[in-house]
Each structure stands twice: as C-alpha cells, then as structure tokens.
Amino acid sequence: MKPIDQMNGAEKAAALLVALGPEVASEIMKFLDEESVNKLAAEIAKIDVLSPEEKEELIGQFLLELRKARGVAFGGQNVAKEIL
C-alpha cells in the first residue's frame, strides 16, 4: 500500500473501509450509490494488507476530520469530487 499522505480520496476511503472491517464497511456501503460502491470496491481490491500502524493512522486521520467537521456540513458536486 502506498503511504497514506500520497493517497487520493477514493484510495483513503477504501483503506479506511478495510481498516474498519467487513461488517462496518458493508453497513457504510449501503448508503452509497452504485458508482461509488464500484469505485471503492476496485480500490479495496488493490489493498493486500494494512498494518496495525496503517490502520491506526487511517482511523486517527478520519477522527481528526470528524472533529474539524463539527459545524455545518455542505455537499454538492465539488465536495463529491473531493471525496472521490
């Protein structure tokens, strides 16, 4: 797996889903459209293994982003492009 700071949004999202495990990941994927699911599934398939350190870093970064996003949340096409 490439370093987390060199991953694009889809790669990070896929790695986070792997880090969270199949049960949690499948629950999250239920809320996504087919195109997003396919894109994430393709990225997940590229991941061989995540070390405990990589899992910790991914989840830690995700939690930091959640803390930053405590205010109003905006969506739209630009946000969708940033996410994927």
* Better pLDDT: 1 or 56: 56
- For residues 13 and 44, the answer to whether their CB atoms sit within 8 Å is no
* Better pLDDT: 68 or 42: 42
This prediction's pTM: 0.77
Q: For residue 34, what are the domain limits?
A: 4-70
Predicted confidence at residue 70, as pLDDT, reads 72
CATH number of the domain bearing residue 41: 1.10.220
Whether residue 76 lies inside any domain: the answer is no
10 Å CB burial of residue 58 (0-12, 13-18, 19+) is buried
Whether residue 77 lies inside any domain: the answer is no
Predicted confidence at residue 73, as pLDDT, reads 61
Whether residue 43 lies inside any domain: the answer is yes
Taking alpha carbons only, the member of 49, 46, 50 closest to residue 58 is 50
